[in-house]
Amino acid sequence: MKNIRTEAMQCYQCKNPRCRQGCPIHTNIPEMIRLLKEDQVMDAATMLFENNPLSIVCSLVCDQEKQCEGACIRGIKGDPVAIGDIEQYISNSCFERIRLNLQPENGKRVAVIGSGPAGLTIAVLLRQKGYKVTIFEVREKIGGIMRYGIPDYRLPRTILDRYYDKLKSLGILFRPNMAIGGAIGIQDLLDDGYASVFIGTGAWKPRRLNIPGETFGNVQYAVNYLNNPDVYDLGEKVAVIGAGNAAMDAARTAVRKGSRDVTVYVRRDKVAASQDEMDLAMIDGVKFEYMKAPVRITDDGVFIADTFFDEEGKLKISEESAKLVPVDTVMVAVSQVPQNRLVTRDPALKLNDRGNLATDEEGATTMKGVFASGDVVTGAKTVVHAVGESKKIAEEMDHYMQSLDQD
Ligand SMILES: Cc1cc2nc3c(=O)[nH]c(=O)nc-3n(C[C@H](O)[C@H](O)[C@H](O)COP(=O)(O)OP(=O)(O)OC[C@H]3O[C@@H](n4cnc5c(N)ncnc54)[C@H](O)[C@@H]3O)c2cc1C
């Protein structure tokens, strides 16, 4: 981490701050830096939390290079201001001391299904507006992919434990090990008097490669592996198929858990993950092969072929170039799609043609009173996108619940 005060001094306090435009949820970065320089760090932390309840997390896992720091005017001729480090310092050091204004309880219950960034954002914002909020989570602890996907060396679990304490201090109730769509369905929640239900169940079903051999015992899906790497024995040599965050995390974790030869095979000529992530993966010893795609998996490894762009610019696979790469494990990390357990249980909920939960612009699903946002609606995206969408949906849920009084 860079020296925070020195970095803050670098900020020009631009009239039209490009950093703010570069942030998907328009964090008021110049104001954060101004408050820090004037020793009003608690005001800066409160402002950050109110704009983004997941500020500490975003300061660690956002791709700042492509967002705020990538847009910083200082970056044109030299290094941009280390905005992520400044936000991290402020949010982390003040988190426990932030006191939120809570409106008095209004007697209405809200059910939040899922405790990833989408669910946590909705829970905090609606609790602030006076609703009685209960979070239902199929897993033991809160956090969603932040806890059960992103490795601890990038996002320490203690941060999520601190969020749990914060939720408790706000009076938000939590039901762990509770899958909605099992013993209890959404209709049961509505029948029990919840004024509205929020679905933030994310995208956890691994996207398949759809190649022969994908069911064999030497194949693992990254999103499952990262859930609990210690129960896997990947062996010495691992081929990771993919180019995003999950591919980088799976490769770096495999190295940390003892695999000696880990190569990421990328279909195109660059990765989708941040440059920073890729640099760190290379430092960890991960190798990269570009313009390569798997075509078949056997007990001995994976057949990898070259890819190329045809005259229309479409990516194609040269099947005849396929060669066996002997590996102990093939790790598939080509994104995730939503599970549809809830939809199967409640036929009033519909999916869109991409297999995501269908909502209108206001986040309303096809079931009255039921709203959704985050990966379950957009498909696999990022923490800051889940927070940004959920801020809008919290407003819509509030309007909807207030309108119930006028019916
Ligand atoms: C390996 C990996 C690394 C990533 N790295 C980054 C990164 O560095 N930066 C970044 O910004 N984004 C990253 N992402 C993406 C980011 O984590 C997601 O976009 C974000 O977590 C989506 O938030 P969400 O709240 O929609 O869903 P999730 O985080 O998936 O949370 C959904 C929650 O709902 C729960 N749930 C599901 N079904 C039910 C049910 N029926 N009943 C009750 N609870 C249920 C789940 O257990 C989970 O806790 C990464 C994703 C992966 C897979």
Kindly state whether residues 197 and 269 are assigned to the same domain: no
Kindly state whether residues 276 and 187 are assigned to the same domain: no
Does the Cβ of 184 fall within 6 Å of ligand 1?
no
Kindly state whether residues 193 and 253 are assigned to the same domain: no
Kindly state whether residues 326 and 391 are assigned to the same domain: no
As for how many domains the chain has, the answer is: 3
Q: Mutation test of ligand 1: which of 150, 227, 271, 356 has the most ligand atoms closer than 8 Å to its C-beta? A: 150
Kindly state whether residues 346 and 253 are assigned to the same domain: no
Domain ends where: 270, 303, 332?
A: 332
Q: Mutation test of ligand 1: which of 382, 390, 391 has the most ligand atoms closer than 8 Å to its C-beta? A: 382
Q: CA-to-CA distance for 83 and 81, rounded, in angstroms?
A: 5
- Judge whether 120 lies within some domain: yes
Secondary structure letter of residue 358 according to DSSP: P
Kindly state whether residues 195 and 268 are assigned to the same domain: no
pLDDT digits (tens, 9 = 90+) for 76-132: 999 999 999 999 999 999 999 999 999 999 999 999 999 999 999 999 999 999 999
For residue 216, count CB atoms less than 10 angstroms from its CB and return exposed for 0-12, middle for 13-18, buried for 19 or more: exposed
Kindly state whether residues 214 and 325 are assigned to the same domain: yes
Does the Cβ of 202 fall within 6 Å of ligand 1?
yes
pLDDT digits (tens, 9 = 90+) for 308-317: 999 999 999 9
Does the Cβ of 388 fall within 6 Å of ligand 1?
no
pLDDT digits (tens, 9 = 90+) for 15-35: 999 999 999 999 999 999 999
- Full-model pTM: 0.96
Kindly state whether residues 200 and 289 are assigned to the same domain: no
Does the Cβ of 242 fall within 6 Å of ligand 1?
no
The range of the structural domain enclosing residue 10 comes to 4-97
**Would the pLDDT of 2 be above 80?**
no
Residue 407's pLDDT band, with cuts at 50, 70 and 90, is low
pLDDT digits (tens, 9 = 90+) for 157-213: 999 999 999 999 999 999 999 999 989 999 999 999 999 999 999 999 999 999 999
Kindly state whether residues 229 and 308 are assigned to the same domain: yes
Does the Cβ of 179 fall within 6 Å of ligand 1?
yes
pLDDT digits (tens, 9 = 90+) for 351-376: 998 889 999 999 999 999 999 999 99
Token pair in block for residue 405: 């009084």
Domain at 350, CATH number: 3.50.50.60
Kindly state whether residues 320 and 345 are assigned to the same domain: no
CA 246 to chain CA centroid, Å, is 10
